């Protein structure tokens, strides 16, 4: 089984048990080789409440070449946008990726910025 297929299998297994509500939407994280993306989704209405990535206008030009530092900036930005959207607590969806490295950096930075998991 290829690594991508294994990740998708893990993702589907996690998503069966995990869903966001209006009170606690789902913070989902996706990483590619170059960028990292985070969005807060209310699964009951199917709407995205907040979105941040390394491609966001707020983070453009701050790229240091360190992917983990970029992930921390994305985590802080998504927490800031959640506060603006009146979201205090979220359910973390790692999207099948291991909770390690850049995924953990996004989660830790969001927690430090005041988001509750």
Among 19, 31, 33, 5, which residue's Cα sits nearest to residue 93? 19
Who wins on pLDDT, 5 or 3? Answer: 5
Q: What are phi and psi of 100, to 5 degrees?
A: -165, 150
Answer whether 0.85 is exceeded by the pTM.
Answer: yes
Per-residue pLDDT of 8-61, as tens digits, reads: 888 888 888 888 888 899 999 999 999 999 999 999 999 999 999 999 999 988
Q: Which 3 state secondary structure label does DSSP give 56?
A: coil
* Domain map (residue ranges) of the chain: 25-112
Per-residue pLDDT of 79-111, as tens digits, reads: 999 999 999 999 999 999 999 999 999 999 999
Domain 25-112 has CATH 3.30.420.100: yes
Q: Which 3 state secondary structure label does DSSP give 57?
A: helix
């Amino acid at each position: 089984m290829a690594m991508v297929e294994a990740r998708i299998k893990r993702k589907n297994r996690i998503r069966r048990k995990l869903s966001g509500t209006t009170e606690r939407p789902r913070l989902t994280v996706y990483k590619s080789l170059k960028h990292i993306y985070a969005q807060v989704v209310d699964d009951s209405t199917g709407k995205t409440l907040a979105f941040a990535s390394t491609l966001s206008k707020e983070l453009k030009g701050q790229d240091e070449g360190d992917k983990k530092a970029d992930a921390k900036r994305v985590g802080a930005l998504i927490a800031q946008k959640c506060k603006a959207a009146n979201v205090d607590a979220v359910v973390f969806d790692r999207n099948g990726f291991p909770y390690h490295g850049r995924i953990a950096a996004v989660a830790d930075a969001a927690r430090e910025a005041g988001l509750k998991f």
